[in-house]
Amino acid sequence: MAMGYSELPNEMIRAVNGVDYAYRDTGGDGPGVVPLILFQHFRGNLDNWDPALIDALAVGRRVVTFDNAGIGGSTGTTPDTVEQMARDALAFIAAMEFSQADLLGFSIGSFVAQQIALMRPALVRRLILASSAPQGGAGMHGWAPEVIAAVGAPQPNPEGYLGVFFTQSATSRQAGQDALRRMFARTQDRDKATTWATRVAQYDAVCTWGNPQHALLQRVSAIDMPVFIANGDSDPMILPHYSHLLAGLIPHARIKIYPDSAHGFLFQHHAEFAADVEAFLTEDQTAALIGCGSR
């Protein structure tokens, strides 16, 4: 790989919905390579992916990050439903001419990835849900007061970010400082900051997704591609509880809970998580799912 994530240019592509999408594109792109598309967290833009994670993922495959409609460098409006976010993402994917992809959704991005898997299953080869939860789960009608206070303020600040994405342990705090340093190493051509309108619309979508409705939990039982569910053991934003729920509802899911980590477990444990993702995307699923799936 010639260029690290921090040096990648911001690219733009126009979709049929009239939105110009900002994205970055890295890693292998030989014939037959299925791209891995990443779906970002609440209020995040292209610069909020830890370059250490993207670079580790891109060793083995093509990796695409993008701003969904209304976010960062993309034009358009951030919608207030996950359903519309999924349609907007599908427009980007169509513009990129990807007929099949692996999806890695993180936090609200994992809701969008779930929705795409349910709406257009033929597109999705394998699905990775990081810090995720099923629509309708009880007890997730918005985030805990201290969480939304920390990351939902008009001006996001590093201390609020660290308190939600990393634990209070010295190791995790240091990992958080390191991740922030990597994200801010890029000084040229940074992505546009996300707006207050994006924050409001995304949180509306999060609260709506969390309207408790037991019947809706059954939706994800229709997801029949292989799924890898991952979470930090101390995530205060989306509790591991919901990862277990997803793993129990989705027929062919594996789950891994990473130690001493919070919402940003995939940045803290970037090497281990990237290796787990690589193994999941490449290995024989028949063997891999023994003991994890239903029958």
Residues that bind its own copies (CB under 8 A): 137-140, 144, 214-215, 217-218, 221, 233-235, 239-249, 251, 253, 255, 290-295
Q: How far is the CB of 264 from its own copies (least distance, A)?
A: 14
Which of 193, 222 has the CB closer to its own copies? 222
Cβ closest to its own copies, residue 30 vs residue 291:
291
Q: How far is the CB of 196 from its own copies (least distance, A)?
A: 26
Q: Which is nearer to its own copies, 26 or 132 (CB)?
A: 132
Give the nearest distance from C-beta 39 to its own copies in angstroms.
22
* Closest approach of its own copies to the CB of residue 146, in Å: 11
* Residue with Cβ nearer its own copies (4 or 248): 248
Residue closer to its own copies (CB basis): 160 or 248: 248
Do the beta carbons of residue 121 and residue 90 sit within 8 Å? Answer: no
CB 52 to its own copies: min, Å: 24
Quote the least distance from Cβ 119 to its own copies, whole Å: 20
Complex with its own copies: residue 140 or 175, whichever CB lies closer: 140
Nearest to 244 by CA among 227, 230, 261: 230
